[in-house]
Chains A and B, each alone.
Chain A
Amino acid sequence: MAERLIQLQNIHKQYGDKTVLENLNLYVKDKEFVTLLGPSGCGKTTTLRIIGGFESPDSGTVLFEGNDITDVPPHQRQVNTVFQRYALFPHLNVYDNIAFGLRIAKMPEEEIRERVTEMLQMINLTGYEKSPITKLSGGEQQRVAIARALVNHPRVLLLDEPLSALDLKLRKEMQRELKAIQQRVGITFVFVTHDQEEALTMSDTVVVLNKGRIQQIGSPTDIYNEPKNAFVADFIGESNILDGIMLEDKKVRFSGHTFDCVDGGFGRKEPVDVVVRPEDVDIVPREKGMLKGTITSVTFMGVHYEIIVDINGFKWMIQTTDFAPEGAEIGLYIEPDAIHIMKKSEYSGLYGDYSLDIDPEALDFDEEEDQDGAESEQAE
């Protein structure tokens, strides 16, 4: 079991009468890049804080290399954190910020100098030793925060939405940089984000959370191609999610048409949720289509067009590079392997219809979970 570096067992956490984490079970392997992904209020930050020791679970245990560390205070854990909005010490310069942990550990100054210099090289900030923290840009502060944590050679680095304060371009750059750093130092990263793209591009394993429960654990491709329920399908990328009936293995009926598909193992005539990704649908002449409908809107997105098609009252989203005008009567063609079948869940019917282009999750302004996060967002 040495491979399981961190293990969370039956974690339960409650703030007042709000359940933040419900019977959470999760393990993180050594040297793995794990992302906790979910909307705000899903419990991802709380999970991270429990690993860091800043929160203690109401029940359940936290294991580190098999040892119970549930009650070990943060300063005695082999874990370091990159905080949301960095939490760099404003009274110290870049060098002293990075050296902070080593000085607490009473390392000789000579060795500290060596390690800090090495870190500054890694984050490309050599020459910034004496700069006050407040004079740095967001991206530079971000890198100092990472260096301040990594200089201590932790076994695990926890990152709490570290890129959320950066602009899009810098964020993409930092995503690549972070991934490169993780591979270079060869330690475990546990990364928290609400940005699905960030999760897909950087992680070895993605843990999708909602309302304090794990929805799915898997590699980015698994999560994207084989979502377990309507929540995951909708949260990761765009999805058309339809009510269907599994006629037999590899035969599913939805939208009044029977389709060949590649999934099986469901009961006969079992009601299911059917996921079709917008980029997997082809627009064909009406008479050749498996489904027929009318285009109700066309949006130019740069690389592709986003087309909404009304098929018997259900609005499909289609992403295509071929232009088709609004009002056109068209047919849709779907390959068998573009159809993904999911069991019915509590999320069935909530997502995947583009009639109202409003994400029900976006209306849920429930941010009680990320107590600190919510506060800081208000403060901005």
Chain B
Amino acid sequence: MTGRDSGRKAPALERLLLAPYTAWASLFILVPLAFIAYYAFTDNNFNFTLDNVLKFFTATSQVTNEAGQTQEVFTYLLIFWRSLKLAIISTIICLLIGYPMAYIMARASSRVQKTMVTLIMIPMWMNFLIRTYAWMTILQDTGIFNGLLDMIGLGPVHIIGTEAAVVIGMVYDYLPHMVIPIYSVMAKMDNRLLEAAQDLGCNNAQVLRRVVWPLSLPGVFSGINMVLIPSISTFYISQKLGNGKFFLIGDAIEGQYIANNLHFAAAIAFIMMIILLVGMAFMRKLAGRHVQGGV
């Protein structure tokens, strides 16, 4: 209720308090975005051109498929498709692992909850490169993973340098991004709603399907966003765990940047950003339809 009085004279003060954030946001978000757009639509002499954008859609190259035949493919569309595919697979796996995990966490005692949240966060405090290198050693043909498989008699499996290795790396990195939003929605869920469902005849599975799942959808959608988007644009994981064989869109941007093709790098980034924004808007609409009224 105190907010009512202070609310009236707030605007001036509010603007003053917001100023640093506004400055920060413009300097480090809006200005760089403007630069990306500017670079994307100019050539090396900064004259307007659509070439960079068109190149993304039209550039072709020769690849050799498994049968040894050479094929002409759209280079960047293929890379984009591969990024999207791996990102979707990773997101689905994150959801399959993360949802039950979040549910178990939210049902646990508050002490267990705190411990589990901390355990999930700890890997995120470690540098991304170190984590990726760790997975390289683990997944090597002679690594810990194969050692374990050997011990239980499943023999060594060649995994490093395959798409599976890339997916494992991405799932490991982005799983917390799936668990945390779902967990926070579930933790806030009114326990009485679950009891009401039981009261009305639901067994545990029905409570989960009819009440918990629909009410947790906002968390699920934000988890999907938070895993899908960074994993589409991921790079490095693919280079290290995929032995460089699975060139992803993030790698393409990095490559162009290193090769000093700033304008084309900007064009790829720009196109990807547009695609992601459209995707996110679509997701939000989908989420909005499912969670009318919210929790």
Contact = CB atoms under 8 A, between A and B. Distances in A.
B214 interface: yes
A360 B53 CA distance: 78
B192 A87 contact: yes
A62 to B, nearest CB: 16
A85 B192 contact: yes
Contact of A87 (B193, B214, B290): B193
Interface in A111-162: 132-134, 148-149, 152
A52 interface: yes
Interface string B188-226: 001111011111111100100011001100000000000
A53 B295 CA distance: 25
B291 A91 contact: yes
A75 B294 contact: no
Nearest to A145: B196
Give the one of A85, A88, A90 with max B CB within 10 A. A90
Contacts of A85: 192
A75 B198 contact: yes
A104 B195 contact: no
A104 B193 CA distance: 15
A29 B193 CA distance: 29
B293 interface: yes
B65 interface: no
Nearest to A135: B293
B260 interface: no
DSSP class of A's interface residues: helix, strand, loop or mixed?
mixed
Interface stretch (A18-26, A76-84, A172-180, A328-336): A76-84
Give the one of B190, B192, B214, B295 with max A CB within 10 A. B192
A224 to B, nearest CB: 33
A81 B196 CA distance: 7
Contact of B192 (A53, A83, A91, A148): A83
Interface string A82-111: 011101111100000000110011000000
Contacts, number: 74
A73 B198 contact: yes
B106 to A, nearest CB: 15
A89 B294 contact: no
A132 B202 contact: no
A226 to B, nearest CB: 36
A104 B290 CA distance: 21
Contacts of A134: 293-294
A350 to B, nearest CB: 34
Given A75-B203, A372-B191, A372-B192, A90 B215 contact: yes
Contact of A83 (B196, B201, B202): B196
B254 to A, nearest CB: 43
Contact of A54 (B195, B202, B214): B195
A83 B211 CA distance: 16
A52 B292 CA distance: 30
A289 interface: no
A152 B200 contact: yes
Nearest to B203: A75
A89 B206 CA distance: 14
Contact of B215 (A52, A91, A100, A133): A91
A104 B293 contact: no
Contacts of A132: 292-293
Given A89-B211, A91-B215, A91-B291, A75 B196 contact: no
A87 B293 CA distance: 14
A218 interface: no
A80 B191 contact: no
Contact of B292 (A54, A74, A91, A372): A91
Contacts of A89: 193, 196-197, 211, 215
Contacts of A133: 293
Nearest to B294: A90
A9 B292 CA distance: 45
Contacts of B293: 90-91, 132-134
A148 B192 CA distance: 14
Contacts of B200: 75, 80, 100-101, 104, 148-149, 152
B196 A87 contact: yes
Give the one of B200, B202, B290 with max A CB within 10 A. B200
Contacts of A83: 192, 195-196, 199
A118 B47 CA distance: 73
Given A73-B203, A85-B192, A91-B293, 19 more contacts: A54-B195, A54-B198, A73-B198, A75-B198, A75-B200, A79-B199, A80-B199, A80-B200, A81-B196, A83-B195, A83-B199, A88-B196, A89-B197, A90-B193, A90-B295, A91-B214, A100-B200, A104-B200, A372-B191
16 contacts: A53-B198, A54-B199, A80-B199, A83-B195, A87-B195, A89-B193, A89-B211, A91-B293, A100-B210, A104-B202, A132-B292, A133-B293, A134-B293, A149-B200, A152-B200, A152-B201
